[in-house]
Amino acid sequence: MMNTAIIVVDELYDFIDGSMACGHAAEAVEETVNLIRKNHSLPVLFVCDHHPANHSSFVEQGGPWPPHCVAGTHGGDIHEALHPFVQEELTFFKGCDPAVEQYSGFDGHNAAGQSLAEVLGLLEVELVYVVGIATEYCVRNTAEDLLRAGFKVSVIKDCLGYVTLDGHEAVLPELEAEGIRLI
Ligand code: VGL
Ligand code: ZN
- What percentage of the chain's residues is helix, strand, coil (to nearest 5)? 35, 25, 40
Given the CA of residue 135, which atom of ligand 1 is nearest to it?
Answer: 7
- Asked whether the CA dihedral 16, 85, 114, 150 is positive or negative, the reply is negative
Phi, psi (5° rounding) for residue 7? -115, 115
- Rounded Cα distance between 78 and 85, Å, is 11
Q: What is the DSSP string of 114-138?
A: -BHHHHHHHTT--EEEEEEE-IIII
- Which residue intervals of the chain are DSSP H helices? 13-16, 25-38, 116-122, 140-148, 165-178
57 CA from centroid of ligand 2 (Å): 7
Supply the pLDDT for residue 21.
98
Distances (CA, A) of 7 to 10, 34, 130, 133, 153: 10, 14, 5, 11, 10
Residue 124 annotated in active site = no
Question: In a mutational test of the pocket of ligand 1, which residue from 7, 15, 160 has the highest number of ligand atoms less than 8 Å from its CB?
Answer: 15
Instruction: Please confirm whether the linkage preceding 134 is cis (ω < 30° from 0).
Output: yes
pTM of the model: 0.97
Distances (CA, A) of 41 to 4, 5, 35, 44, 133: 10, 9, 11, 9, 23
Residue 14 annotated in active site = no
Supply the pLDDT for residue 1.
77
**Would you say the CB of residue 14 lies under 6 angstroms from ligand 1?**
no
* Bridge pairing between strands 152-161 and 44-49: unpaired
Supply the pLDDT for residue 34.
98
**Would you say the CB of residue 171 lies under 6 angstroms from ligand 1?**
no
Q: What is the pLDDT along the chain (183 residues), one digit of tens a residue?
A: 799 999 999 999 999 999 999 999 999 999 999 999 999 999 999 999 999 999 999 999 999 999 999 999 999 999 999 999 999 999 999 999 999 999 999 989 999 999 999 999 999 999 999 999 999 999 999 999 999 999 999 999 999 999 999 999 999 999 999 999 999
Among the listed residues 25, 48, 69, 138, the single catalytic one is 138
Supply the pLDDT for residue 107.
83
Phi, psi (5° rounding) for residue 81? -65, -20
